[in-house]
């Protein structure tokens, strides 16, 4: 049962409600994002202010100290002062030497949260690589973010003195509570807004589709396979009148286009049939020409088997002439290409006979059995072998000695015919097009050979595949069931 689609009024109603809901979700998402951004900015700036205050106090202590200002004396200089600075600014901090070793900490030693005695190599390397000589490490902790800033301290002459470490915890619990309360309040407002939008959307959808209902009733009766009636609508709005006028103009243009399309399709069908017939006729002509040339070249009146050879050449020519005759008969009766005429065949003999028209010096044929019977159309099988071998010959460059192998065998109640050549191979750019009608890489020919082979094979529930290596050659494989289900005689 076909799924019933929503009416236009229902779609308008649905989309308006959806728009309101999406807008509400978007506003809520932006609000949450803004709260989080403000919280991050607040904690970042607060940490920077604490660092600035600590550095100011540390510099003051260094200037007032009687000890020489160097890394080795920081522990003595800040022995008691570190606690005073921490109490004044209400912030704990640690002092490390330039190699990351702990000098002094303002925090007491806790078993569950000890002060690191040695900074990691990653932190030291990061500090040395950054131009600002400052690095902030962030870690997730409970409901907030734990930040730990590291800053290189310098003496009055800007010489590196030590590393200041300021642990800082982002407490977002207050902001989270405020955000939840705000979302609850705005949620009630959104529910009220959606209810109002439902009423408004329903009224608007009915108003908009009222005039379109009359047009839809008229268009429901329109059929493209017959002469269509134009729509006449009184008392409609300017927009609806414009729609009706466009539809009526489209009906006129559609009728004219339908006539042109029908004429074009008939012409194209004739052209395509003519191309196929020309290709089919050309297929037997080429082997006939090769056969005559071979006969003239090998003819020897003194040969004791001359009568037998003449009979073989004559049978080959007669076979090709019969094929041309069948094609001409099919064309003259406006039928398709010769229909399947299934019969039990000895495929070995048929393939050998099809190969007789080609020079045997560079074509080798092999079969796993001396006799291999299957149901097939003799002419169509001959056409398949002829096309594949001819394509293989044409793929071999002139400066290369042709070598073509034809192999016939049976496997799992299927017949396989393989044609292997040592040609140029098939480039990736054209690999997907070789079975398309009218596609060819040759300067002559209609490009219908392989598509025709593919169509014949598929009519027998078979398939055709190929493997190729550029510069080395290609292997085409045809397979089809040994027994066909029905006979068309």
How far apart are alpha carbons 361 and 350 in whole angstroms?
19
DSSP state of 149: E
Pair 161, 70: CB distance under 8 Å: yes
Q: What's the distance, Cα to Cα, between the start and end of the chain in Å?
A: 41
Residue 23: φ, ψ to 5°: -65, -40
* 333 contact partners, CB below 8 Å, separation of at least 6: none
Looking up tokens 């900074």, which residue turns up?
Answer: 119
Beta bridge partners of residue 138, listed in sequence order: 147
How far apart are alpha carbons 368 and 481 in whole angstroms?
17
Pair 16, 204: CB distance under 8 Å: yes
**What would the pLDDT profile of 368-377 be if each residue is shown by its tens digit?**
988 899 888 8
What is the domain-level CATH number for residue 442? 3.30.565.10
pLDDT over 50 (residue 433)? yes
What's the confidence (pLDDT) of residue 334?
39
What's the confidence (pLDDT) of residue 332?
53
What average pLDDT score do residues 386-398 get?
87
Q: Is residue 409 part of a domain?
A: yes
Structure tokens at 413: 């109640």
Structure tokens at 388: 């594949």
Looking up tokens 């040994």, which residue turns up?
Answer: 482
Q: What is the mean pLDDT of the chain?
A: 77
How far apart are alpha carbons 464 and 456 in whole angstroms?
10
209-213, 379-383, 385-389, 411-415: segment of lowest average pLDDT: 209-213
What's the confidence (pLDDT) of residue 348?
92
Q: Is the dihedral of CA 486, 368, 416, 420 positive or negative?
A: negative
Which among 142, 160, 176 is the end of a domain?
A: 176
pLDDT over 60 (residue 2)? no
Give the confidence band of 231 by pLDDT, cuts at 50, 70, 90: low
Express as a percent the part of the chain with pLDDT over 90. 8
Comparing 410 with 145, the larger pLDDT belongs to 410
Looking up tokens 């016939």, which residue turns up?
Answer: 408
Q: What distances in angstroms separate CA 414 from CA 349, 379, 389, 480, 487, one per listed residue?
A: 18, 20, 21, 6, 18
Q: Is residue 391 part of a domain?
A: yes
Q: For residue 134, give its domain range.
A: 8-176
Q: Is residue 42 part of a domain?
A: yes
**What would the pLDDT profile of 17-39 be if each residue is shown by its tens digit?**
888 888 888 888 888 888 888 87
Q: Is residue 117 part of a domain?
A: yes
Q: Is residue 484 part of a domain?
A: yes
- Helices (H) and strands (E) counted in the chain, each on its own, are 10, 12
pTM (two decimals): 0.37
Comparing 73 with 244, the larger pLDDT belongs to 73
Which among 158, 176, 194 is the end of a domain?
A: 176
Nearest to 415 by CA among 475, 484, 468, 357: 484
Give the confidence band of 335 by pLDDT, cuts at 50, 70, 90: very low
**What would the pLDDT profile of 146-187 be if each residue is shown by its tens digit?**
778 899 888 888 888 888 988 887 766 666 777 788 778 878
Residue 267: φ, ψ to 5°: -65, -40
DSSP state of 368: S
Structure tokens at 114: 């000890």
What's the confidence (pLDDT) of residue 1?
42
Give the confidence band of 487 by pLDDT, cuts at 50, 70, 90: very low
pLDDT over 80 (residue 468)? yes
Q: Is residue 481 part of a domain?
A: yes
Pair 369, 410: CB distance under 8 Å: yes
What's the confidence (pLDDT) of residue 111?
46
**What would the pLDDT profile of 79-135 be if each residue is shown by its tens digit?**
888 888 888 888 889 999 988 888 888 876 544 556 788 888 888 888 888 888 888
What's the confidence (pLDDT) of residue 208?
65
337-346, 352-361, 426-435, 441-450: segment of lowest average pLDDT: 441-450
Domains in the chain, number = 2
Is 399 buried (19+), middle (13-18) or exposed (0-12) by CB count in 10 A?
exposed
Which among 145, 161, 176 is the end of a domain?
A: 176
DSSP state of 6: P
122-131, 200-209, 228-237, 389-398: segment of lowest average pLDDT: 228-237
What's the confidence (pLDDT) of residue 365?
92
Q: What would the DSSP string read from start to end of 455-474?
A: HHHHHTT-EEEEEEETTTEE
What's the confidence (pLDDT) of residue 456?
85
* 155 contact partners, CB below 8 Å, separation of at least 6: 62, 69, 70, 161
Pair 233, 246: CB distance under 8 Å: no
β strands within 22-173, DSSP E: 94-96, 102-105, 134-141, 144-154, 160-169
* 215 contact partners, CB below 8 Å, separation of at least 6: 231, 233, 240, 243, 244, 247
pLDDT over 50 (residue 481)? yes
Comparing 409 with 184, the larger pLDDT belongs to 409
**DSSP β-ladder status, 414-420 and 404-411:** antiparallel
Q: Is residue 226 part of a domain?
A: no
The alpha carbon of residue 336 and the mean position of all alpha carbons in its chain are separated, in whole angstroms, by: 38
What average pLDDT score do residues 227-254 get?
68
How far apart are alpha carbons 251 and 16 in whole angstroms?
33
pLDDT over 50 (residue 447)? no
pLDDT over 70 (residue 209)? no
What is the domain-level CATH number for residue 153? 3.30.450.20
Q: Is residue 52 part of a domain?
A: yes
Give the confidence band of 407 by pLDDT, cuts at 50, 70, 90: very high
**What would the pLDDT profile of 410-431 be if each residue is shown by its tens digit?**
998 899 999 999 988 888 877 7
């Amino acid at each position: 049962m076909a799924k019933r689609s929503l009416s236009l009024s229902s779609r308008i109603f649905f989309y308006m409600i959806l728009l309101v809901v999406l807008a509400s979700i978007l506003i809520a998402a932006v609000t949450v994002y803004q709260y989080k951004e403000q919280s991050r900015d607040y904690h970042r700036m607060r940490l920077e202010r604490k660092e600035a205050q600590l550095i100011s106090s540390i510099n003051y202590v260094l200037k007032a100290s009687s000890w020489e200002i160097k890394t080795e004396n920081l522990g003595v200089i800040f022995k008691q002062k570190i606690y005073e600075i921490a109490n004044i600014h209400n912030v704990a901090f640690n002092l490390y030497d330039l190699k990351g070793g702990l000098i002094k900490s303002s925090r007491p030693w806790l078993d569950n949260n000890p002060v690191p005695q040695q900074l990691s190599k990653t932190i030291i390397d990061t500090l040395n690589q950054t131009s600002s000589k400052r690095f902030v490490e962030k870690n997730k902790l409970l409901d907030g973010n734990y930040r730990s800033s590291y800053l290189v301290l310098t003496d009055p002459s800007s010489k590196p003195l030590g590393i200041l470490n300021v642990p800082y915890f982002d407490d977002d619990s207050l902001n989270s509570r405020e955000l939840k309360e705000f979302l609850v309040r705005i949620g009630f407002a959104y529910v009220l807004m959606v209810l109002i939008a439902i009423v408004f959307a329903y009224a608007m959808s009915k108003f908009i589709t009222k005039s379109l209902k009359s047009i839809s009733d008229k268009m429901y009766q329109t059929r493209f396979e017959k002469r269509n009636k134009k729509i006449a609508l009184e008392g409609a709005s300017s927009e609806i009148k414009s729609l009706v006028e466009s539809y009526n103009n489209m009906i006129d243009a559609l009728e004219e286009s339908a006539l042109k399309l029908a004429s074009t399709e008939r012409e194209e069908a004739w052209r395509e049939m003519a191309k196929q017939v020309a290709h089919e006729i050309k297929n037997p002509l080429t082997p006939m020409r090769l056969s005559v040339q071979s006969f003239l070249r090998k003819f020897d009146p003194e040969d004791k088997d001359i009568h037998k050879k003449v009979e073989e050449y004559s049978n080959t020519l007669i076979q090709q002439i019969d094929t041309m005759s069948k094609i001409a008969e099919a064309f003259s009766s406006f039928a398709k290409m010769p229909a399947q005429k299934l019969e039990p065949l000895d495929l070995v003999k048929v393939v050998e006979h099809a190969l007789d028209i080609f020079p045997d010096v560079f074509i080798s044929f092999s079969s796993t059995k001396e006799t291999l019977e299957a149901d097939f159309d003799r002419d169509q099988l001959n056409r398949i072998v002829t096309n594949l071998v001819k394509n293989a010959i044409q793929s071999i460059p002139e400066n290369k000695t042709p070598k073509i192998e034809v192999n016939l065998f049976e496997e799992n109640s299927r017949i396989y015919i393989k044609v292997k050549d040592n040609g140029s191979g098939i480039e990736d750019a054209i690999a997907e097009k070789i079975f398309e009608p009218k596609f060819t890489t040759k300067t002559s020919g209609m490009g219908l050979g392989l598509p025709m082979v593919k169509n014949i094979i598929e009519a027998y529930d078979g398939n055709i595949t190929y493997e190729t290596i550029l510069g080395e050659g290609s292997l085409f494989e045809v397979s089809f069931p040994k027994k066909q289900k029905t006979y068309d005689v």
